[in-house]
Amino acid sequence: MHDLRKKALLESGKTTSRKSRSRPDSNFGSPATSPGGSRHGSRTNSRAGSRYASEEEGGLSDSEFDDSMTMSTNSVSDDAFDDDGNAKSAWSDRLQTLISQILAGRTSDRKRIGVQDREEQLKAYLHIVRHYYSKQEIGGSMSDLVEGLMKSIKSGGSPLERSLALRSLCVSILTNPSEGIFEGIVQGLKVVCQDDEDENVKADAVYALCVGAMHGDGSTEVAEDILEFLIEIIESDGQAVGAPDSATVVVAAQLGWGFVASYLGDLSDQSEQAMDAFVEQLDSIDVGVQTGAGSNIALLFESAREYEEETGETLTLRYDPNKLIRQMKEISRGSKSISKRDRRLLRGDFSSIVTSLELGKGPGYSTSGRPTSNPHLGGSKAEADESDIQEFGYREKIRVHNVYMVIDSWSLQAKVQLFRIILAGGFDTHFSQNPLIKESLDEAEVERIINPGELKKVLAAERSQALAARGKRRQAGY
């Protein structure tokens, strides 16, 4: 399983690729009765377009109930420790109560609990297991807990209940991974993905399949089966799971594909079909789908480079990278009909992908730089020619506590994207305390922030970025 442990960015709306437009039924879009459908000109229920999803991703905002959860779990309180410094009784006891309530949902007692009460229970459970590393607390009840969550996933009385249960399942697996979990949930998750009428529930089911495959099983065979399932969704523009032209579902499938693929050392068996699907989606009318496809194209080329370095054998991808570069540049130049926000996102992401294909680098690599010698402070102009320019290099970084994590590969970016969607505001906690997350991201280069003044600047910049991201979500009608 360890051999396998080697993208939110999410936009919603409707997407139509060339293949979809050529199908006779593609013009009809989603059925009128589908909650995921939207009339032409209506405001789409879109997800945030930022590269890394916030806690509000998928509508499961911690901020809506953080205050009440903090009070009930006694989080970040000195009362959570005894005189000997032993943790926790408050949130741990609360978690055990919530687990008991979820387990009760497996029986006839479920009928006595209203939908809203079950939603509140799941919100509270999800909040705690995100913000506290709870392996010890949930380990003894894991099998029954998964069964209880699957009951809400398959029979939940509202889309919110089903989504909360799916997210809770994901975090539970990341907290207490077990190779025996996936076999018991895979068929149920696929049925939800195919039959649920809500496109956000479908997207969350995709994430659960990916997390379950990699950390509830871990075998190469299961990973390859999930990759094939996701490619079917992408190729059909969501139609394979009853979500025709749903950008939410297609982007989730693309992000999930990148996540699972990032654990595999050899993508030679998947590369041809995957490249066909992603290149076609470059012509989508949805920016999130386009950038997600481009990122996975870059991931495939990155995998081919690594395969050649490790084996000495060339893995030939049928697509000429120079042609793909020209195609993405043309798409960026011809994007004037979309909103300014989407145009900025598209051009920024495609610029990163183009640089990656040109130079064989990871995401966010900057060729800009400064001279290694300064002729104004000693040295000559001859010494400061182009050959002495020190490139800025990788500029895509995220801060976790007092360190920067440098995102220098597409496989690392794919993992971080999905982990941050699932763990939301608890990502920092799990990065610091959860061995699974540490192991999955152990390839990341880490830069420490030592200077308090530098940390202050970082926090100010992050606040500014958060405000900008909030404005983007409001513009998207979310």
Could you report the per-residue pLDDT of 336-362, keeping only the tens digit for each?
A: 778 889 999 999 999 999 999 999 999
Residues 6 or more apart whose Cβ sits within 8 Å of residue 57: 8, 10, 47, 48, 421, 424
Given this model, what pLDDT does residue 370 score?
A: 56
Query: Side chain identity at 360, as an amino acid letter?
Result: G
Q: How far is residue 354's CA from residue 325's CA, in Å, rounded to a whole number? A: 6
Query: The tokens 């659960």 sit on which residue?
Result: 208
Mean pLDDT of the chain: 80
Coil, strand, or helix at residue 321?
helix
178 within 8 A of 142, measured Cβ to Cβ? yes
In tens, the pLDDT along 357-379 reads 999 999 988 887 655 544 444 44
Q: How far is residue 300's CA from residue 414's CA, in Å, rounded to a whole number? A: 12
Given this model, what pLDDT does residue 316 score?
A: 82
How many domains does the chain contain in total?
A: 1
Given this model, what pLDDT does residue 383 score?
A: 43
In tens, the pLDDT along 30-78 reads 333 333 333 333 333 333 333 444 334 334 444 444 434 443 444 333 3
Q: pLDDT band for 202, please (50, 70, 90 cuts).
A: very high
More confident residue, 38 or 116: 116
Q: What is residue 180's DSSP assignment?
A: T
> Is 97's pLDDT higher than 60?
yes
Classify the C-alpha dihedral 149-150-155-157 as positive or negative: positive
Residues 6 or more apart whose Cβ sits within 8 Å of residue 313: 307
Given this model, what pLDDT does residue 469 score?
A: 67
Given this model, what pLDDT does residue 311 score?
A: 86
Given this model, what pLDDT does residue 447 score?
A: 84
The CA–CA distances, whole Å, from 93 to 98, 138, 404, 411 equal 9, 12, 34, 38
424 within 8 A of 48, measured Cβ to Cβ? no
Q: What is residue 366's DSSP assignment?
A: E
CATH of the domain at 290: 1.25.10.10
418 within 8 A of 450, measured Cβ to Cβ? no
Choose from 82-86, 251-255, 341-345, 385-389 the range with maximum mean pLDDT. 251-255
Question: Whats the size of the chain, residue-wise?
Answer: 478
pTM greater than 0.85 (yes/no): no
Task: Name the residue range of residue 14's domain.
Answer: 2-78+86-475
